[in-house]
Amino acid sequence: MGTLDEAYRSSPPLLLSIDHGPRIVSTAIDYLIQPGGSLHGRLRVPGDKSISHRAVILGSLADGVTRVRGLLEGADVLATIAAFRAMGVGLSGSGEGRLRIDGVGLQGLQAPSAPLDMGNSGTAMRLLAGVLAAQHFDSELTGDASLHQRPMRRVAEPLQAMGAAVTMGAEGRPPLRIAGGRVLHGIDYAMPVASAQVKSALLFAGMYADGTTSVMEPAPTRDHTERMLRGFGYPVSSTDGTASIRGGGRLQGCDIEVPGDLSSAAFFLVGAAIAPGSDVVVQGVGVNPTRSGILTLLRQMGAAVEVTNNREAGGEPVADIRVRSGPLRGIAISAEQVSLAIDEFPILFIAAACAEGETVLRGARELRVKESDRIAVVAEGLKRLGVDARETPDGMSIRGSRISGGEVDSHGDHRVAMAFAMAGAGAEGAITVRDCENVNTSFPGFAELAVDAGLSIQSMVRES
């Protein structure tokens, strides 16, 4: 992989286009996975996407220099970097996940000359909405066709309650247009749906607001923002499910080490659990308790999961995770467990398809408004592979069986694509997964690492 600077100069429009016209991609990528084999080795997955986004945002708004190691160099994070470059922040990369950010301070952003293109990243759009709501200039956040189907009222409405001028497209979807020069005031906001993205956007806006902004969660969500704010020297309190911040503080540049992404590691953990004879260790993975539900659920299913070498990096708990193959059993997943594993359900559905008995998920309606309707898309794919999968309005029931070969469509969803690719580790026949190019948004090098681990996967380019 080249340097980040080279990526900005030479990457194709799919990754870093900021011309904001129609996105034209002439080729598509499919995966072909052959059955058999097992997964082995000590692996490292790319840096955590959620933490990488926040490091770029807070480093840009800090006084002084921030140096980041382990940054995810996927398309989503590159879009966030491009946005802050467009607003006058100096960001330079030397490759291998290293990034220097010359912060401009909370008041130092400049008006961009064009709309800010967030690509496929709902995280970037929602987090930046919180920052841009407090600026002195007008701005617009846009993205690709998939992102333009994502709901934005959940972040726009509380920002409007703080005094921001945010308008949306039809049905509360992107683009977001934000008028500058508004005075924000702190609010007490009880989120109707647990969302770390909404919480983070309001905390970012709260740095600029008069008074205190408090966000109450209906269920625990990842706390990367609170941890990182403290790391940058900005006080934030977290008690009894409420995060609070007072406006008027400062961020001071610092050094950040981004741990491996547990959501990315999850594909290999499940692959090892379902492929006979497998034994995999994923090293240096973030195991923040607000998002490690995947480990709890796998253990409940009977997977042999070991967490060792616990340590801390950049204020985040980190460990090595070992999984060996073995029989899995179906479980009932409670609504209380959903927010702690929300991004891992596509691969958890694959584990359920290989388990004995029935797995039932409820309280996960949020999965219907991700990069795809992950309930409908995964259920459709599992049925094509001979698995008894039944949708419910807020979840799914899956009766475990052998996975046959066949063809499935990821509908452009990176996590669905990787989940069905890893399903090949436990399948009886070859699986073709269509439309996998968006895997680069969160896991560049996924197919290559999977091959190194023992999965028989081939990337095939075709005209789209």
Q: Of the candidates 175, 149, 150, 146, which has an alpha carbon nearest to the alpha carbon of residue 417? A: 146
Do 250 and 233 meet the contact criterion of CB atoms below 8 Å apart? Answer: yes
Nearest to 181 by CA among 128, 129, 246, 133: 133
Respond yes or no: is residue 343 known to be catalytic: yes
DSSP calls for 152-217: -HHHHHHHHHTT-EEE-SGGG-SPEEEES-PPPB--EEE-SS--HHHHHHHHHHHTTSBSEEEEE-
| Coil, helix or strand at residue 149 | helix
- Write down the residue that tokens 């683009």 correspond to: 175
Phi and psi for 163 in degrees, rounded to 5? 110, 0
What is the three-class DSSP state of 297? helix
For the residues of 63-120, what is the DSSP string, one character each?
EEEEEEES---SHHHHHHHHHHHHTT-EEEEEETTEEEEEEE-TT-----SS-EE-TT
Q: Contact, 187 vs 117, CB < 8 A?
A: no
Comparing C-alpha atoms, which of 292, 293, 272 is closest to residue 282? 272
> Which of 30, 144, 343, 413 is the catalytic position?
343
User: Which residues are the active-site residues?
Assistant: 343
